[in-house]
Structure 1
Amino acid sequence: MIKADPGYVATYAATGSRKRGFSKEIAAWDDDGHPMVVNHKGLVRAESISGYESVIHDGSPLPFAFIPGNGWMVEHEDGKREPLVAWAVCTYGGGDSMFVLPMFTEEYEAWRSGGGTWTGAKMGGDPDPVRVVPEKPGDRA
């Protein structure tokens, strides 16, 4: 048995009572090269679960380290700026290539309580292009 690198998933089609397909992360490869996944019975061959279709490499970035974003801002196309929280160092499935993504917060609510203003935020990304710039305009190269 060989531990699987992150990023590989087994895909399953909708069947009978299941109206939607789903995927399961490949946990290991057996000695014959078959993908193994975890279900309620433990580690099993992926094809033993009904609806099995194939193994694919999931295209979602997998962060494995974070670098503080101190002193940098994210600038949107509309000119809005917000602090860069961190750089997420990522890979696609543990391969040799790595890249970084800017991480910033997206405010989704604000309220007053206890003499202060509180905001709720979530970590976000933006499907639209963003620029990462120094916090102080004079620091631009």
Structure 2
Amino acid sequence: MIPETGYITAAFKIGEGPCERRRVVAWDGDGNALVPDAIDGRLTIARLEPGFQWLDAEAAATDPVALIPGGGWVAEHRDGSTAPVVAWGVGLDGAMRAYVASGDRAVSADDFEELSFTVRHPAAEGEL
């Protein structure tokens, strides 16, 4: 087994929602990506897991490694609706992203293009 030292994720499509991503933590002797199996408590071959779609090095770079509170910032969506920024996240790539609540999870504009939004602080005038 060879440890994965980069930021590669395996994407899985389960049901109607967006793909679930699990970090690749190692490679076996045959070059298969290994991901944690939370139910069995062991590493499994990603491509053999139900719903496996692909491996992705780019998406993992946007995963947040640190979060700070939203601080009163507001997201303005394309349709004119607004939502509070619940957190700011710093990704593995070093970029800062705003996260808003969407259903039962927090998402950034990078997660889904249709959720594209601009952010502003209520105390500021105009778009920042």
Compared CA separation, residues 8 and 77, structure 1 to 2 (3 A): closer
Structure 2 residue aligned with 1:105: 101
Q: Where in structure 2 are the equivalents of 1:53-132 lying within 5 Å?
A: 56-58=55-57, 59-60=59-60, 61-91=62-92, 97-106=93-102, 122-125=105-108, 127-132=114-119
Q: Deviations over 1:99-124 (max 9, x none)?
A: 22211124x6xxxxxxxxxxxx6424
Higher strand share: 1
The one-letter amino acid paired with 1:131 is T
- Letter paired with 2:27: W
| SS of aligned partner of 1:71 | coil
The one-letter amino acid paired with 1:57 is D
CA distance in 1, matches of 2:22, 2:127: 45
1:98 corresponds to which letter in structure 2? Answer: G
Counting aligned pairs with the same residue, the percent is: 23
Count of matched residue positions in the alignment of Structure 1 and Structure 2? 109
2:120 is matched with 133
SS in structure 2 at match of 1:102: strand
TM-score of the pair, normalised by structure 2: 0.54
Aligned-pair distance for 1:74?
0.9
* 1:34 aligned residue (31, 36, 39): 31
- Structure 1 stretches of 5 or more lacking a match? 12-22, 92-96, 109-120
Structure 1: 4+ residue segments shifted above 6 A:
none
**Unpaired segments ≥5 residues, structure 2:** 13-20
Instruction: Provide TM-score, normalisation by structure 1.
Output: 0.50
Matched residue SS, 1:85: strand
